Amino acid sequence: MVIGSINIDLVADVERLPREGETIGAVGFQQHLGGKGANQAAAAARMGADAVMAGCVGDDVFGPQAMAGLQAVGVDCALVRTAKDTATGVALITVGRRGENTIVVIAGANGTLAGGDVERAACAMADCDAVMMQFEVPDAVVLAVAETIARLRERDGRPLFVLNPSPFRASAVPPAGTVDILIVNEIEAEQMTGLKVVSPADAAQAARRLLPTLRAGGRVVVTLGAQGAVALGGDADTPLYIPARPVEAVDTTGAGDTFAGALVAELCAGRSTREALRFATAAAAIAVTRPGAQSSFPRREEVEPALDGAPEAAPLVERG
C-alpha cells in the first residue's frame, strides 16, 4: 500500500533553468500524472506488485484523470477519496535540456488527507507486506500511519513501514524505532543528519547515522542520482554501493519514485538487498530516458532484459 499524494504535473520544457527573478521562454509544454505517492504506487504496480493507493483527489477535471491513470496500470484505488470543493494536487515542473528540474508542489486535495483516512485503510494495511509513505501529505497523517502500523505489528509483525521523507520536514518524522526501510536522496540525508552528502562514502556515513533510528533489522538507502545508490542494514552488514547505469537523461522527474517503487516491490517479493538495488537502479535508468513521471515508468518486462550488463551492488570501498 502507498499512502500519499496524487498530483497532475504541468511541465515546462526549457533550454536551461531560470535564475531567481528571471523570465524565460519555454520550448514545450506537457501534462502528466504525478504525485510522489501515486508515482510510487504506479511504479510498484508496473513491476508486478499488487499495489493499493490511499489518498485524495479533488472534484475538478484532474481528479478523474489521476484515478484513471493509476487504475490503468493496475493500482487498486478503492481507498482514494474525492474531496469536495477542492482542487487536485498540482506540481509545476521546469525541465532543462539535460533533464535537470525544479518542482513546486501545490497540495490541493492532498492537504485534506487526515487520520480518518488512515483508520479506514487500517484493515487493508493489515493484509499488506509493506506500507509506503512520503511527506507530500500532512504531518498528522504520517504520524497516524506510524502509530497504526505499530499497532498492527503486535499481531503478526506486518506490515513493513517504508518511508521516503520528501519533501523533508522534521515535524513529520515518525518516532524512532518505527520505520523499517528509509529511502532518502542526498539532500534529505543531509537534512536528517547534518552531514554533507556528495559522494558514495558520504552517503555511507549518513546511512550509519540514520540506521540506529530505524526498527531492528531496518534498511537505509541513500540515492545519489547519476552516481547511483548506497544501502546499509537488513542483509547488508556493510555498506553496499551500486553505480547508476549510464544513460542519456531526458527528464529526471519521477526517477526517485521509480527507484523506490521498484525497490520495495522486489524486497516484498523476497529479493535480497543486492538484487533489489540492481533491479531498481535499472528501472530508474530507463525512466530518465523518457519524459514525464508515471508516463516514463517501465514495465517489468522492460527492466528484466536491461539487467544484462547492468551494474551490480558490491561492498563500498571506503578510503581514509
Residues annotated as catalytic are 257
Cell of 7: 498530483
Residue partners of 48: CB distance under 8 A and separation at least 6: 265, 269, 300
Query: Rounded CA gap, 234 and 24, in Å?
Result: 47
Calculate ∠ Cα 89-91-95, nearest 5°: 165
Distances in whole angstroms, Cα of residue 217 to Cα of each of 106, 141, 158, 236:
36, 25, 14, 10
Query: Rounded CA gap, 149 and 165, in Å?
Result: 17
Distances in whole angstroms, Cα of residue 252 to Cα of each of 258, 280, 300:
10, 15, 19
